[in-house]
Structure 1
């Protein structure tokens, strides 16, 4: 894992918002590791803005997995409404749509979108539950069919021997 970690560190060495850092918990860094709750080695922690405790990284330990996680979770440049820096075309369109609107107009749209998000999350939860229920039913049926198939194959073998 160390070579992958070092490679990730090299990739982000000059990055403004992502720092890849090593702490040796057996030497001078012991106090830091204790403070952060590190109990096993190697432990990877990541910190989002304002987070002082950090979260344990639980994904792949190869370079590609760590890079993908870093890009998705940490190296996220946010759309700046004022300068439009790092904004995607659909974000710019939204900014322009509400340019010149009152804070009440924006608050109303925000409320509407928030309600729609709640509905989507609720629908997704229901769909996931339905899916999981179907999968469980299919797996039970599959297991029963596999057992039945095995028994029938044994019976078939026995009958073939009897018929000889």
Structure 2
């Protein structure tokens, strides 16, 4: 009986060990590649892949909710030579990347199709099926090196820029970036002004409430109840 008991304990221990090992393996496999400023350029711009990137904060509830599906997607594309699925932690080493790409809420998902280095906001659904469908459609965009990916309209417009000198293209690109940056700065300034105005107005309302409360209380206290008024009239 003692030998049977020891054998049973040994079997249970073995099962427990295998279960823990399996859980660790699954957890390890589910980990999504996390990018930092040191790895972002090589992984996103120099790999030749399209990139689907989630900018997140660990404390964000929506980020936690979508993490299992995002990790599943990352696992499916782990060995892909066309699409990279990755994370950027905006509270840690990736903060400067989040600032660079204008991340203001979490999670923010962006995609980069070569040769695009600006990134575009993903505005689709957050379910695993939605993410899978979008990832499957990612690929190199329209460029001088991939004319086969251009529509006739894109080819015509692209040719206009191809015919420009490198200096003129660079200047035009810089002017557009400056215009966009100026517009964003004006928007941020307006937002801060509106927030300040809102706070000032709210402070006035709260101050008035606090100042009026004692008077309102006394005015109500000075008004006889309907029952007492009725008794007074009868007398």
TM-score by length of 2: 0.38
Alpha-carbon distance in structure 2 between the residues aligned to 1:127 and 1:137: 15
Q: What is aligned with 1:106?
A: 169
Larger Rg: 1 or 2? 2
Residue ranges of structure 2 left out of the alignment (5+ in a row)? 1-60, 78-82, 96-105, 117-140, 230-235
- Alpha carbons of structure 1 residues 102 and 119: separation in structure 2 relative to 1, 3 Å: same
Q: Please state if 1:17 is matched with 2:84.
A: yes
CA contact (8 A) 1:77 1:86 kept: no
Q: Could you say which structure has the greater relative contact order, defined with CA pairs below 8 angstroms and 6 or more residues apart?
A: 2
- Alpha carbons of structure 1 residues 123 and 5: separation in structure 2 relative to 1, 3 Å: closer
Alpha-carbon distance in structure 2 between the residues aligned to 1:104 and 1:151: 72
Q: What is aligned with 1:63?
A: none
Q: What is aligned with 2:112?
A: 77
1:101 aligns to what SS in structure 2? coil
Alpha-carbon distance in structure 2 between the residues aligned to 1:145 and 1:85: 67
Q: Please state if 1:137 is matched with 2:200.
A: yes
Alpha-carbon distance in structure 2 between the residues aligned to 1:145 and 1:136: 14
1:13 aligns to what SS in structure 2? helix
- Alpha carbons of structure 1 residues 77 and 100: separation in structure 2 relative to 1, 3 Å: same
- Alpha carbons of structure 1 residues 119 and 85: separation in structure 2 relative to 1, 3 Å: farther
Q: Please state if 1:123 is matched with 2:123.
A: no
| 4+ runs deviating over 4 angstroms | 1-4, 84-88, 90-94
CA contact (8 A) 2:161 2:169 kept: yes
1:12 aligns to what SS in structure 2? helix
Shift of the alpha carbon at 1:127? 0.9
- Alpha carbons of structure 1 residues 6 and 116: separation in structure 2 relative to 1, 3 Å: closer
Decide which structure has greater strand share: 2
Residue ranges of structure 1 left out of the alignment (5+ in a row)? 20-45, 57-67
Report how many aligned residue pairs link the two structures.
Answer: 119
Q: What is aligned with 2:132?
A: none
CA RMSD of aligned residues (A): 4.1
Alpha-carbon distance in structure 2 between the residues aligned to 1:93 and 1:152: 74
- Alpha carbons of structure 1 residues 3 and 159: separation in structure 2 relative to 1, 3 Å: closer
